[in-house]
């Protein structure tokens, strides 16, 4: 990859590149304890294969696709927000999403920008009654990340909550929008069963990254992680905490713990804004927020949180009502957060 862009193709990019070049591991051994490419979804490697097939740089294909998708996500989100509360609100919401710390992952050669674009596009299509398009976008999203299934849930909730549509049409719309993502994801699991011998191999492979199924053990693991964040200074000393290269792990966990707290605060704010927990936007955002917590760890909580785009709306509403002194304080805090975030990008991992 081009050296100036090396940071944007770090971490998991190598796994995606391996899939694009050689496919998934044929006979994965000890998949629950040894990291393998089975844990990753196929959409981004398919895009990268275009570069391999045309003898061009696969990184550039992934990088350009991610950034173009993020631009599309911002466009769809602007339209969705405008339909909700007007152009001024939409412009403010879009800028918040574009400048949110988690948005940096949409600029990497990753799946985040692509998944967000498909989510916002599917939601926009559903709210405008284009159920086939919504279902197609959600189906493609399940091949980008397993969390894409939640987009299908959002479409179904939008369909069944429409009060100006007859009950029979609500069911029809929900099926049109909800069946394609479920069928696509089941198809991928069936492919794993036929070609790799286990339909839940991807879930098993996630365990090599420390992710576990929901349960008491996962809660204990989560508690240990939180305790590690709180007690790091006393255990390792302030010197290592200042040295970013030595404290990258602590910074990762502190980032994700902070992100989880902020996300759940925003879910409550969105709940109050919507006036009911039955809102499709509240349920969808809560599902996304619970993705990391249900595995017993907080790793990548900020990354996953980018998909919960409705959480931008209560922030946009508050900023629309905030005074200039409040906005000034917010800008100072935002700038202060940039320093540790840059250190995370340099020494830590998403």
Check: CB of residue 228 under 8 Å from CB of residue 249. no
Per-residue burial over 297-323, b = 16 or more CB atoms within 10 Å of its CB, e = otherwise = bbbbbbbbbbbbbbbbbbbbbebeeee
pLDDT of 102 > 60? The answer is yes
pLDDT of residue 9: 58
**More reliable by pLDDT, 308 or 261:** 308
Give 219's contacts (C-beta < 8 A, 6+ positions apart).
Answer: 296
The pLDDT-based confidence of 34 (bands split at 50, 70, 90) is confident
pLDDT of residue 86: 93
Q: What is the pLDDT of residues 170-185, one digit of tens each?
A: 999 999 999 999 999 9
pLDDT of residue 31: 82
Phi/psi zone of residue 19: left (φ > 0), alpha (ψ -120 to 50 degrees), beta?
A: alpha
pLDDT of residue 122: 97
DSSP class of 309? G
Least confident of 75-84, 265-274, 332-341: 332-341
3-class DSSP state of 108: coil
């Amino acid at each position: 990859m081009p050296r100036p862009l090396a940071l944007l193709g770090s971490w998991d990019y190598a796994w995606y590149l391996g899939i694009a070049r050689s496919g998934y591991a044929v006979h994965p051994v000890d998949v629950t304890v040894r990291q393998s490419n089975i844990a990753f979804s196929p959409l981004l490697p398919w895009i990268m294969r275009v570069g391999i097939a045309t003898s061009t740089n696969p990184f550039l294909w992934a990088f350009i696709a991610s950034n173009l998708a993020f631009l599309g996500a911002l466009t769809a989100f602007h339209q969705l927000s405008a339909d909700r509360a007007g152009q001024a609100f939409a412009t403010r919401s879009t800028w918040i999403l574009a400048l949110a710390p988690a948005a940096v992952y949409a600029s990497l050669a990753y799946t985040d920008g692509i998944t967000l674009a498909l989510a916002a596009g599917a939601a926009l299509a559903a709210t405008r009654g284009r159920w086939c398009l919504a279902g197609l976008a959600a189906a493609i999203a399940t091949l980008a990340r397993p969390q894409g299934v939640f987009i299908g849930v959002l479409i179904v909730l939008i369909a069944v909550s429409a009060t100006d549509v007859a009950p029979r049409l609500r069911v029809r719309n929900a099926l049109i929008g909800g069946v394609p993502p479920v069928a696509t994801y089941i198809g991928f699991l069936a492919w794993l069963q036929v070609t790799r011998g286990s339909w839940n191999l991807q879930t098993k492979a996630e365990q090599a990254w420390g992710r576990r199924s929901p349960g008491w053990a996962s809660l204990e693991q989560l508690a240990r992680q939180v305790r590690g964040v709180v007690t790091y200074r006393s255990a390792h000393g302030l010197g290592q905490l200042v040295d970013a290269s030595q404290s990258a792990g602590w910074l990762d966990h502190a980032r994700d713990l902070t992100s989880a707290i902020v996300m759940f605060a925003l879910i409550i704010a969105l709940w109050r804004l919507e006036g009911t927990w039955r809102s499709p936007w509240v349920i969808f955002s809560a599902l996304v927020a619970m993705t990391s917590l249900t595995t017993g760890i907080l790793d990548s909580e900020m990354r996953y949180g980018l998909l919960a785009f409705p959480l931008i709306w209560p922030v946009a509403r508050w900023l629309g009502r905030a005074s200039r002194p409040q906005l000034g304080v917010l800008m100072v805090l935002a700038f202060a957060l940039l320093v540790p975030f840059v250190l995370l990008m340099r020494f830590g991992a998403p």
